[in-house]
Amino acid sequence: MKINRIKDNDIANGFGITMSIWTQGCPHHCKGCFNGETWSFEDGTEFTKDDLYYILDNINKHGIKRDLSILGGEPLCPENIDGVINLSKTFKEKYPEKKIYLWTGYVVEEFNEIQKKVFEYVDILVDGKFEQGKKKLSLTMRGSSNQRVIDVKKSIEKNKLILLDIDNK
């Protein structure tokens, strides 16, 4: 798994404050992507144990209660998925009360068996590629109206896809 950056205090990607990690490398190449520097699989740095411990040790730094957001790039592509699962699992073992948010360009109905493992750890998942023709600036936590904000825990509980209607559409 490669990463582009870690941001200690992020108020744009989740409800409240999150520590956010951008994975490096994206196969989707959505037209109009605002995050083009995360596309290349050659750039970025390997996610190390030090990065993992940094997240675990600093998630409550200065008394601020943060959740964790995992963005991209593409966290669930073959190059990054194992690292993302390991990070999510380790994080939830230490902080079961904290939320994990995850953004992916894949849609959940097409997840392979490995990608489905993130359902065990992720609370809120935003899926789908950015579609420029469906771009809407007023949307919360996503750029285009095809993207869905999925309540993973409730979806598992109800055995059907439960979306968060955060924009009162």
35 binds ligand SF4 per the rule CB under 6 A: yes
C-alpha 26: how far from chain center: 13
CB 139: neighbour CB atoms within 10 A?
16
26 binds ligand SF4 per the rule CB under 6 A: yes
* Core vs surface per residue 74-105: b (16+ CB within 10 A) or e: bbbbebbbebbbebbeebbeebeebbbbbbbb
Q: How many residues bind ligand SF4 (CB under 6 A)?
A: 13
Contact map string, positions 98 to 117, toward ligand SF4, x by CB under 6 A: -------x------------
Nearer to ligand SF4, 66 or 129 (CB): 129
The answer to whether 94 and 88 are in contact (CB under 8 A) is no
Nearer to ligand SF4, 55 or 126 (CB): 126
Q: Which stretch binds ligand SF4 (CB under 6 A): 10-18, 69-77, 118-126, 160-168?
A: 69-77
33 binds ligand SF4 per the rule CB under 6 A: yes
Cis peptide before 83 (omega within 30 of 0): no
Q: Enumerate binding residues for ligand SF4 (CB under 6 A).
A: 26, 28-30, 33, 35, 38, 72-74, 105, 129-130
